[in-house]
Amino acid sequence: MATQANRTRILEQMGNQLHEMGYRHMRGNSLKEKHVKAMVDRWQGEGLSAGTMKNRMATLRWWAEKVGKRNVIARDNAVYGIAERQYVAQESRAKQLEADQLRQISDPHLRMSLELQREFGLRREESMKFIPSYADKGDRLCLKASWTKGGRAREIPVRTPSQRDVLDRAHKIAGRGSLIPPDRKYVQQLRLYEKHTASAGLSKLHGLRHEYAQRRYLELTGWLSPVAGGPSAKELTPEQKSRDREVRLLISEELGHSREQISTVYLGR
C-alpha cells in the first residue's frame, strides 16, 4: 500500500513537472525519450541525489512497462549521467531539528512524527503509522512489520528522558490509534507532511536518521564516528575495531537494516 502511494505521488509530481516544462495534453501512454531526458535534466539541475533520481527512474520504468513503452527508457541509468550511489559517506548528512523549526509545524500529529524521527531514527512512514499504545513497551519500542520498509519488525531501546517525554506526549495525542488521525489515510497524511515541512523550510529530513546513528555511535563507543570527525577504521586498535563492528551492527538493526555494511552510509568508514 505504501509502495503504491509513493508511486502515485512520484508519478503525479513528474506529470506536473512535464506540464511546467511545456509538455501539455499528455496521456498515460504519451511518454517519449525526450520527456525522460527533460525530466532527468531538470532533476540534475535541482541537485537531486543519485539515490533520489534512481528511485524516480525505477518508478518511471514501472509505469513505462505498464503502458507498453518500456523501450522509451534506457536500461542503464549511466546513459542519463546518473551516478551510482555512494555507499561510504564522505561527509556528514546529519540534521538537527530545532525547537523553533518544530513550532512552525502547526499540525500536532505531524509535529510528533518529526520528534519521533529525531529521537528514535524512525523513517518518515514509520513515524506516521506509529501507534504508541502498541509500540511503547517501557524500556523499548516494538515496531510492527506493516509500518516498516521491507516488512521487518524491530525493536529500539528507550534510553533517555527526552525519548520518554516524547513517547508520553505521543500517547496523549494518538490515544489508542496511530499518528495518522482517524479521518485521514496514509497518502493524505504524507502529502500534509510534505506541505507542512516545505512551508517550514525543512528539507532532507532523512538526515535525522543520520544524526541518530552518529549520536548512538558516540554513546556506545565513546568516540565520534569517522564521518563526524572521529578516527577511521585504520586508526583503531584491534579492541576498538571489534567494538566498532559490534556497534555498527547494533545501530544497523535499530535503523531497520540487516547488514553492518549499510552503517557506512550513516557513519563513514
- Please give the full DSSP string across 164-199, using - where no structure is assigned: HHHHHHHHHHHTTS-SS-TT--HHHHHHHHHHHHHH
Q: Does residue 152 sit in the same domain as residue 215? A: no
Q: Does residue 195 sit in the same domain as residue 211? A: no
Q: Does residue 74 sit in the same domain as residue 13? A: yes
Q: Is the dihedral of CA 5, 10, 13, 18 positive or negative?
A: negative
Assess contact for 208 and 93: CB atoms under 8 A.
no
Q: Which domain holds residue 153?
A: 105-199
Read off the pLDDT of residues 112-164 as tens digits, 9 standing for 90 and up: 999 999 999 999 999 999 999 999 999 999 999 999 987 889 999 999 999 99
What total of structural domains would you count in the chain? 3
Rounded to 10 deg, the angle between the 2-20 and 50-66 helix axes is 90
pLDDT in tens, the chain (269 residues): 567 788 888 888 888 888 888 888 888 788 899 999 888 888 877 777 778 888 899 999 998 898 888 888 988 888 888 866 656 777 888 999 989 999 999 999 999 999 999 999 999 999 999 999 999 999 999 999 999 987 889 999 999 999 999 999 999 999 999 999 999 999 899 999 999 998 998 988 989 999 999 999 999 999 999 999 999 999 999 999 999 999 999 999 999 987 788 899 899 99
Q: Does residue 248 sit in the same domain as residue 166? A: no
Residue 98 lies in a domain: no
Residue 91 lies in a domain: no
Residue 187 lies in a domain: yes
User: Which run of H or of E encompasses 142?
Assistant: strand 140-143
Burial of 174 (0-12, 13-18, 19+ CB in 10 A): buried
Q: Does residue 110 sit in the same domain as residue 195? A: yes
Residue 115: closest CA among 68, 43, 76, 170: 170
Residue 143 lies in a domain: yes
Residue 88 lies in a domain: no
Q: Does residue 129 sit in the same domain as residue 186? A: yes
Query: CA 109 → CA 91, 149, 200, distances in Å?
Result: 32, 21, 15
Q: Does residue 114 sit in the same domain as residue 194? A: yes
Of 199, 229, 250, which residue is a domain's last?
199
Backbone angles phi, psi at 140, to 5 degrees: -160, 160
Hey, is 62 helix, strand or coil? Answer: helix
Burial of 267 (0-12, 13-18, 19+ CB in 10 A): buried
User: Which run of H or of E encompasses 155?
Assistant: strand 154-157
Q: Does residue 121 sit in the same domain as residue 191? A: yes
Name the residue type at position 50: A
Q: Does residue 17 sit in the same domain as residue 75? A: yes
